[in-house]
Chains A and B, each alone.
Chain A
Amino acid sequence: MFANSVTVILLGLIIGVPPLLFLAWGLRNGQFERLDETSYSIFEEEELRYLRPWEKPKQVSERMQKYGKLLPPQTEGWKKWL
């Protein structure tokens, strides 16, 4: 066996073991529960209620159903650039 293989093994463990510990911490602290709610946490107030001009009528309708009456974009907010 390669004489100094221990170095590579050790480095692999130093990189790999802490994520395992954090994974255990996350599991114990409920980090992986209520995933859908967490996915919504990045949005600011009313952010999802703004009309997106690229959306198809069906998508607009879905947005309205989910988030309520839609708000118009601000001024020239959504303007094609490409």
Chain B
Amino acid sequence: MAVENSQSTSEPRQENVVENATRRDSVIDHSKVRVNVAEAARLDRSSRFPVLLGFTLAIIWLLEGTLLGDIASFKFDFPDFLGSQEYLTFGRVRPAHLNAMVYGWASTAMFAVSLWMMPRLCRTPLQWPGLATGGIIVWNIGVYIGIVLLMAGVTDGLEWLEMDNTMADPLLVIGAAMVGASIWKTLAARNVDHLYVSVWYVAASYPWLAIIFIAGNLPIYEGVESAAINWFYGHNALGLWLTTINLGLIYYLLPKIVGRPIYSYWLSLIGFWGLALFYSLNGMHHLIGGPMPSWMIATSITASILMVIPVVAVGINQHMTIAGRFGAMRYSPALTFLVLSAMAYTAVSLQGILTALVNVNRVTHFTHWTIAHSHLGVYMFVTMSLFGGIYYILPRLIGREWPSANMIRAHFLLVGLGMVIYVVTLGGGGVMQGLRMLDPSLPFQASVEAAKPWLLTRSFAAVLISIGHVIFAAHALMLVLRGRSSVPEDPPFFFVRPVLVRNDGTTHQP
């Protein structure tokens, strides 16, 4: 031991006090669990199959959901577009788009992301990987059945809960429970005592999803109560499922890529616990002005305003972590997507709080502002985060670099530009639409006319985004099909340090 110490002191290296303290403490102290690259690769291998399966299915859903979204968007500009077939009418295509994106693309990719993160964070191989794989398959069968039924005209008629609650929803519950069981079993088998904040986010997401999804789908509500439960579910699906996994991903990858720990771990905990304790009653602010008991609306508005605390905590923390190092985004596409996503989280949350205020809601309610807002959340925050995660994770699991920096560049510019145009124009158009609806001297048609140019711009943005998605999917396919022994001609760096696998497929040992 003395020899080891003398050897280590011969190196011109100052002791890292924090690191030593970290290694001293914890159940298996961090000196034993601070993994090397080979161990990290071993943990990645334990989750490889379900993660790759999840990403593959998610990307297929991304393309399908995009196509459905484009059709729905163009129907605003050209009402007769594809109107001759019942299954392509707006009332079916629009919910099919929403469900394909939320449950097919985002949720399946989030299963994969969480199955990849948990073994690394818990320093133990993924437990019950077969169950997780089965869960992803069952979930996707459920989504497929649900969307086919939606397009056939079978719907539950509640926003975000349209899929049939006898044929599709039970499969979704079973699938998520199977993946969640693998996640929680991995958590139970962890080799660290202290739970990193991403673990709190990921582990909490699964029981929350189960509770809200089952509660939302119970066929026992009627009338106004059904509306209340609908938005209890709809808003919590965003806040306690889509948000949590992706914040966990950002809290994990942002520090790793930048190469410094999160600015304030304490703030990150405030962000998580604030969300956990304040968020669940936010949803009823969607029903301001409706025939709801006043206490329910007041509680929801209060809870929404309280969300300022965790949102600002997360925003400050993520900004300060990368402050002074924004240049890193030029070197890491994963980081670029994640930073954009983190900024969108702050923006959409503050926008949501603003929208919960009665005076603002009076203008924006029943307008396209809501659509812009939801896309800022589900796309700019959630989808951008998942793109960042996929750019980081896939090369590590496949053992190869992304083939083309140009394709990543095109993907980023198309979806980024497209979504900025989408949110800005549709948000502005929504406000103008709302102001005209409030003006009693104007006919309803005036609000429709006010929104039309912005809807056309939205369709243009949707086309840009769609091209970006096709490039992304083609690039992912190229990555998979590229031979293992092939050496990239001009590797764009996506193996952010540490490099786990060399080009020849052998594990790198520093």
Contact = CB atoms under 8 A, between A and B. Distances in A.
Interface of A: 1-2, 4-5, 7-8, 11-12, 14-16, 18-20, 22-23, 26, 29-32, 34-48, 50, 52-56, 59, 63, 65-69, 71, 73-82
A12 B22 contact: no
A34 to B, nearest CB: 6
Given A38-B196, A39-B265, A81 B492 contact: yes
A44 B255 contact: no
Given A41-B30, A44-B36, A20 B277 contact: yes
Contacts of A75: 491
B293 A78 contact: no
Contacts of A63: 259
Given A7-B225, A77-B493, A79-B491, A16 B280 contact: yes
Contact of B16 (A20, A26, A67, A81): A67
Given A36-B265, A54-B327, A18 B207 contact: yes
B212 interface: yes
Interface of B: 11-14, 16, 18-19, 21-22, 25-26, 30, 33-37, 40, 120-121, 192-196, 198, 204, 207-208, 211-212, 215, 221, 224-225, 228-229, 232, 236, 240, 252, 255-256, 258-262, 265-266, 269, 273, 276-277, 280-281, 284, 292-293, 295-296, 324-325, 327-333, 336, 405, 408-409, 412, 490-493, 495, 497-499, 508, 510
B37 A44 contact: yes
Nearest to B228: A8
A48 B22 CA distance: 15
Given A71-B510, A77-B495, A81-B409, A34 B194 contact: yes
Given A19-B204, A54-B331, A66-B14, A37 B194 contact: yes
Nearest to B8: A68
Contacts of B295: 1, 5
Contacts of B328: 52, 54
A29 B335 CA distance: 34
A62 B70 CA distance: 49
B510 A45 contact: yes
Given A31-B195, A37-B18, A74-B497, A23 B331 contact: no
Contacts, number: 202
B258 to A, nearest CB: 8
19 contacts: A2-B293, A4-B221, A7-B229, A8-B284, A16-B280, A32-B269, A34-B22, A35-B265, A38-B196, A38-B265, A39-B196, A41-B34, A42-B196, A45-B37, A46-B510, A50-B498, A74-B497, A81-B408, A82-B336
Given A16-B277, A82-B330, A82-B409, A44 B261 contact: no
Nearest to A8: B228
B19 A40 contact: yes
B293 A65 contact: no
A32 B292 CA distance: 40
Contacts of B36: 44-45
A37 B266 CA distance: 12
Contacts of A73: 497
B307 to A, nearest CB: 14
A46 B38 CA distance: 13
Given A31-B194, A81-B493, A11 B25 contact: no
Nearest to B251: A42
A41 B194 contact: yes
Interface centre among A32, A41, A50, A74 (most CB of B within 10 A): A41
Contacts of A8: 225, 228-229, 232, 281, 284, 296
B313 to A, nearest CB: 14
Contacts of A12: 280-281
Given A8-B228, A82-B330, A44 B34 contact: yes
Contacts of A43: 34, 255-256, 261
B487 to A, nearest CB: 11
Contact of B121 (A42, A52, A74): A42
Contacts of A42: 120-121, 196, 198, 252, 255-256, 261
B432 to A, nearest CB: 34
B265 A23 contact: no
B30 A50 contact: no
A59 B325 contact: yes
A42 to B, nearest CB: 6
A22 B276 CA distance: 11
B405 A81 contact: yes
Given A44-B35, A44-B498, A73-B497, 4 more contacts: A11-B212, A15-B212, A22-B204, A32-B269
A43 B208 CA distance: 29
A81 B331 contact: yes
Contacts of B252: 42
Contacts of A79: 331, 405, 491-493
B192 A41 contact: yes
A23 B273 contact: yes
Contact of A37 (B30, B324, B405): B30
Given A5-B293, A12-B281, A39-B262, A45 B25 contact: no
Contacts of B284: 8
A76 B204 CA distance: 39
